[in-house]
Amino acid sequence: MVLHGHIHNGVVVFDEPVALAEGTKVQVEPVSADKNRAVRPGTGDWQTAAKAAQELRESGYDFDAYRVQREYDLKHAGDHLP
């Protein structure tokens, strides 16, 4: 189970109501501010990630075209909103 929340005045405050018994032990892990990383250091298998990227390259996936389209979409996202 993953519970989302934030720190308020030095205390963890959950974003949604949580039904945990008083005294339940929990483990809190801060979310990385760098959300652009596909694999956080120390948490992923870099060999598997490299293999997946290689398979995409071999299949003809165009990383540059994806990047250009994503930049365009982000730049013009507000153009179609009221």
Global model pTM greater than 0.75: no
Which spans in 1-82 are helix H? Answer: 46-58, 63-76
pLDDT at 39: 56
Structure token digits, residue 67 = 């990047």
The H or E element that residue 7 is part of is: strand 5-8
Tell me the C-alpha distance between 26 and 23, whole Å.
9
- Between 78 and 38, name the one with better pLDDT: 78
Q: Which of 30, 14, 35 is nearest to 3 (CA)?
A: 14
The H or E element that residue 14 is part of is: strand 11-14
